[in-house]
Chains A and B, each alone.
Chain A
Amino acid sequence: MGITKEEVEYIARLARLEFDETEKEAFTHQLDKILEYVDKINELDTSHVQPSSHVIPLENVLREDNVKESLPRDLVLANAPKKERGYFKVPKVIE
């Protein structure tokens, strides 16, 4: 039982977060406590219960294939931390 520091490191990598050693310790401890608490849901037998992703039963909400004007490009890029020649710019992606 309990979450390990290695798991915390793995989850942090998935979530693109990084922590120093002290933070890692603290997070491991806090998450462990929280998980111990939330684990109580596993006391319940839900073998015949359907999951509710949505609470209001809606289906087939569709729009027509009609063009809506796009955002002017200066607004598209207005909030960009870095941009160049109409593109967003990021550190080089190595494939």
Chain B
Amino acid sequence: MDYEPVIGLEVHVQLATKTKLFCGCRTTFGAPPNSQTCPVCLGFPGVLPVLNKEVVELAILSAIALNCTINPYSRFSRKNYFYPDLPKAYQISQYDLPLAKDGWVEISSGGKIRKIGIIRVHLEEDAGKLIHEDSGSLVDYNRCGIPLIEIVSSPMLRSSQEAYEYLNALKDILRYLRVSDCNMEEGSLRCDANVSVREKDAEGFGTKTEVKNMNSFKAVKQALDYEISRQIDLLEKGRRVLQETRLWDERESRTHGMRTKEEAHDYRYFPEPDLVPLSINPEWVNKISKRLPELPKDRMNRFLKEYGLPEYDALVLTSSRDLADYYEECVRLYNQPKVISNWIMTELLALLKEDGIEITQVKIKPEHLISMLGLIDKGVISGKIAKDIIVHMFRTGKDPSLIVEEKGLVQITDEDEVSKVIDEVILENKKAVLEYKSGKTKVMGFLVGQVMKKTEGKANPQIVNKLLREKI
């Protein structure tokens, strides 16, 4: 029998604010345990939450970009359950009246564009972190109260690849908005999946499992593949899929069922009495939508038209907002869009990839890249040397002229100096010179190479060519 998977994703994204959702504690990643906590996020007796305005605005911005309808009236509710990472024993979340609903994102699947529905986007606070040791569990509340949006997709995804594409699409959009850095390793993007399988083209749904603990985009794909084939396997053997939560085990590359907790789902939601409702009018939404940047697709089209770039270059350069900003800053300083594109595409991106870093972390400032291109134009350095210089710039962040000076990489344009080297080369390569004279013009390349070698590549190639011809 033919089966198809039905997948819905619940994605939690940390919003890039300076402070937490309901208190003024910092949100910096990797701080010492419990160093970014206060009575409010520790849930001490008597404290009250106060909503961070920037959180609301970033959430609205995300909802707009995800084509959602912003609810004119929304509110917070308490989700009650006991767990040591939850100091109030309830999570402040949104339940019956979420911030936004009914949106979509586009993904490409099998060469076609598909719109994946988004059921809701709501705000909630993160919980703390537990570290399990033999003698007990240790609790760090630094993450507690970090602002999250939860984005719930409709169960429209039909393969692990589509889920992967969907996640990437979300990541691209949210990073473009600078709403989040969407870093799964640091936990600023987390994803749980609801997975079921059914006979192809069937109407209803099969029993679903909830898959958790996937810590990278790759893991999501692997976990879904595993879970889909596990479920198909069960059905083919005539067995049932159990409705349960399953955890992805990265090391064993499999999911395994969590021990079912008693009365797991009676969360006793009720409206949070310590917070007042949110009323979001169209004027506010309009004001926030002005913060909406040019989105990747529009920007790519503009790059094609405005800078005459090849489609592939335009696609790559607009794949991240920071990269596109970097590129456009360079073009603003030096109106050679194609030259700049070539340098970024071939040299800079390769270096980024090698070090596994982002454009925002790069030490080369746009003005330095441009001054390097200027050095080439003025003939101070050759293109070949520039390729070495850009590596130094990448490592040190130094001004290229400084590197040129320090390393003595200035191009030799003095004809007398070049001429001396050519004389040496002619003397040392009599055979080649004779061959040239006999009509084998191809050896010219070899002779030029010899000159360059002696000058450590610093001789100006045009001058070398010209003088060699004259001298032979």
Contacts and interface: CB of A to CB of B under 8 A. Distances in A.
Is A–B contact present in the complex under a CB 8 A cutoff? yes
A82 B263 CA distance: 28
- A-B pairs, top 9 by smallest CB distance, nearest first, are A68-B24, A87-B138, A65-B54, A62-B53, A88-B139, A58-B276, A53-B271, A93-B137, A59-B279
A86 B34 contact: yes
B134 A66 contact: no
Interface of B: 17-19, 23-26, 32-39, 42, 50-56, 75, 82-84, 130-141, 247, 258-259, 262-263, 266, 268, 271, 273, 275-279
A90 interface: yes
A95 B84 CA distance: 12
Nearest to B138: A87
A46 interface: no
25 contacts: A54-B276, A58-B276, A59-B279, A63-B51, A63-B52, A64-B53, A65-B18, A65-B19, A65-B54, A66-B18, A67-B18, A67-B19, A68-B24, A68-B38, A70-B25, A73-B34, A73-B35, A77-B34, A87-B33, A88-B138, A88-B139, A89-B137, A89-B139, A93-B83, A95-B258
Nearest to B271: A53
Interface of A: 10, 13-14, 16, 53-54, 58-71, 73, 76-77, 82, 84-95
Nearest to B133: A92
B56 A66 contact: no
Contacts of A73: 32, 34-35
A40 B399 CA distance: 81
Nearest to A59: B279
B276 A60 contact: yes
A7 B278 CA distance: 36
A73 to B, nearest CB: 6
B34 A59 contact: no
Contacts of A14: 263, 266, 268
Contacts of A94: 259
B263 A76 contact: no
Contacts of B278: 59-60
A10 to B, nearest CB: 7
Contacts of A87: 33-34, 131, 138-140
B50 A85 contact: no
**Residue from A13, A64, A69, A88 having most chain B Cβ neighbours under 10 A:** A88
A32 B135 CA distance: 43
B56 A62 contact: yes
A66 B138 contact: no
Contacts of A68: 19, 23-25, 38
Contacts, number: 121
Contact of A86 (B33, B56, B275): B33
Contacts of A92: 132-137
A90 B84 contact: yes
Contacts of A70: 25-26, 35-38
**Residue from A63, A70, A82, A90 having most chain B Cβ neighbours under 10 A:** A70
Nearest to B272: A53
B75 to A, nearest CB: 8
Contact of B51 (A53, A61, A84): A61
Contacts of B84: 88, 90, 93
A85 B132 contact: no
B202 to A, nearest CB: 34
A89 B277 CA distance: 36
A76 to B, nearest CB: 5
B53 A85 contact: no
Nearest to B134: A92
A71 B279 CA distance: 32
A85 B137 contact: no
Nearest to B55: A65
Nearest to B213: A95
A65 B385 CA distance: 48
A82 to B, nearest CB: 8
B47 to A, nearest CB: 11
B82 A71 contact: no
A77 B247 CA distance: 32
Nearest to A71: B38
A15 to B, nearest CB: 9
Contact of B24 (A53, A66, A77): A66
